[in-house]
Amino acid sequence: MPISNLDIALIAILIAEIAGFLTFATDKQKAKAGLWRTPEATLLLFGLIGGLGAWMGQHLLRHKTRKEPFRTQFGLVVVIHLILLAAGAAWVIL
Protein backbone atom coordinates (compact mmCIF):
# COMPACT_ATOMS: atom_id res chain seq x y z
CA MET A 1 0.00 0.00 0.00
CA PRO A 2 1.61 3.27 -1.08
CA ILE A 3 2.10 6.15 1.31
CA SER A 4 -0.16 9.09 0.48
CA ASN A 5 0.75 12.76 0.62
CA LEU A 6 -1.47 13.06 3.70
CA ASP A 7 0.53 10.31 5.43
CA ILE A 8 3.76 12.12 4.61
CA ALA A 9 2.35 15.41 5.91
CA LEU A 10 1.20 13.79 9.18
CA ILE A 11 4.58 12.12 9.68
CA ALA A 12 6.33 15.45 9.03
CA ILE A 13 4.05 17.19 11.58
CA LEU A 14 4.75 14.48 14.16
CA ILE A 15 8.51 14.78 13.62
CA ALA A 16 8.27 18.58 13.94
CA GLU A 17 6.30 18.32 17.19
CA ILE A 18 8.85 15.89 18.63
CA ALA A 19 11.70 18.16 17.52
CA GLY A 20 10.00 21.10 19.25
CA PHE A 21 9.71 19.16 22.50
CA LEU A 22 13.28 17.90 22.32
CA THR A 23 14.62 21.41 21.68
CA PHE A 24 13.09 22.64 24.93
CA ALA A 25 14.20 19.50 26.79
CA THR A 26 17.77 19.91 25.56
CA ASP A 27 17.87 23.59 26.51
CA LYS A 28 16.48 22.77 29.97
CA GLN A 29 19.26 20.22 30.50
CA LYS A 30 21.86 22.72 29.30
CA ALA A 31 20.48 25.31 31.74
CA LYS A 32 20.73 22.85 34.64
CA ALA A 33 24.30 21.93 33.68
CA GLY A 34 25.39 25.53 33.17
CA LEU A 35 26.28 24.90 29.54
CA TRP A 36 25.93 27.10 26.45
CA ARG A 37 22.20 27.63 25.88
CA THR A 38 19.99 27.46 22.83
CA PRO A 39 19.27 30.99 21.57
CA GLU A 40 15.72 32.23 22.16
CA ALA A 41 15.34 32.85 18.41
CA THR A 42 15.94 29.12 17.84
CA LEU A 43 13.38 28.20 20.51
CA LEU A 44 10.87 30.53 18.83
CA LEU A 45 11.61 28.95 15.45
CA PHE A 46 10.92 25.50 16.87
CA GLY A 47 7.74 26.93 18.36
CA LEU A 48 6.67 27.87 14.85
CA ILE A 49 7.68 24.53 13.35
CA GLY A 50 6.62 22.20 16.16
CA GLY A 51 4.38 24.41 18.26
CA LEU A 52 2.41 21.91 20.29
CA GLY A 53 5.46 19.80 21.07
CA ALA A 54 7.46 22.89 22.00
CA TRP A 55 4.60 24.18 24.14
CA MET A 56 4.35 20.83 25.93
CA GLY A 57 8.12 20.86 26.47
CA GLN A 58 7.96 24.35 27.91
CA HIS A 59 5.14 23.56 30.32
CA LEU A 60 5.92 19.97 31.31
CA LEU A 61 9.57 20.82 31.93
CA ARG A 62 8.75 24.27 33.40
CA HIS A 63 11.25 25.89 31.09
CA LYS A 64 11.10 29.61 30.34
CA THR A 65 7.53 29.87 31.61
CA ARG A 66 8.16 33.12 33.51
CA LYS A 67 10.65 34.84 31.20
CA GLU A 68 9.21 37.93 29.52
CA PRO A 69 9.07 38.94 26.71
CA PHE A 70 9.89 35.38 25.58
CA ARG A 71 6.73 33.94 27.11
CA THR A 72 4.48 36.34 25.19
CA GLN A 73 6.43 35.96 21.95
CA PHE A 74 6.35 32.18 22.28
CA GLY A 75 2.60 32.20 22.88
CA LEU A 76 2.07 34.22 19.68
CA VAL A 77 4.31 31.89 17.70
CA VAL A 78 2.39 28.83 18.92
CA VAL A 79 -0.91 30.49 17.95
CA ILE A 80 0.51 31.12 14.47
CA HIS A 81 1.57 27.46 14.34
CA LEU A 82 -1.97 26.34 15.20
CA ILE A 83 -3.47 28.67 12.58
CA LEU A 84 -1.12 27.24 9.96
CA LEU A 85 -2.05 23.68 10.97
CA ALA A 86 -5.76 24.52 10.76
CA ALA A 87 -5.28 26.17 7.36
CA GLY A 88 -3.37 23.14 6.11
CA ALA A 89 -6.07 20.79 7.38
CA ALA A 90 -8.79 22.91 5.74
CA TRP A 91 -6.84 22.89 2.48
CA VAL A 92 -6.57 19.08 2.57
CA ILE A 93 -10.25 18.62 3.44
CA LEU A 94 -11.54 21.02 0.80
CA 74, chain centre distance (Å): 9
The structure's pTM equals 0.89
* Cβ(48)–Cβ(16) below 8 Å: no
pLDDT per position as a tens digit, 58-76: 999 988 988 899 999 999 9
**What per-residue confidence (pLDDT) applies to 4?**
85
Q: Which portions of the chain are predicted below pLDDT 70?
A: none
Question: What is the count of structural domains for the chain?
Answer: 1
The C-alpha angle 11, 14, 19, rounded to 5 degrees, equals 125
Could you tell me the residue range of the domain that residue 33 belongs to? 5-93
Q: In angstroms, rounded to a whole number, what is the distance separating the alpha carbons of residues 57 and 34?
A: 19
**What per-residue confidence (pLDDT) applies to 9?**
86
Cα separation values, 85 from 8, 9, 52, Å: 14, 11, 10
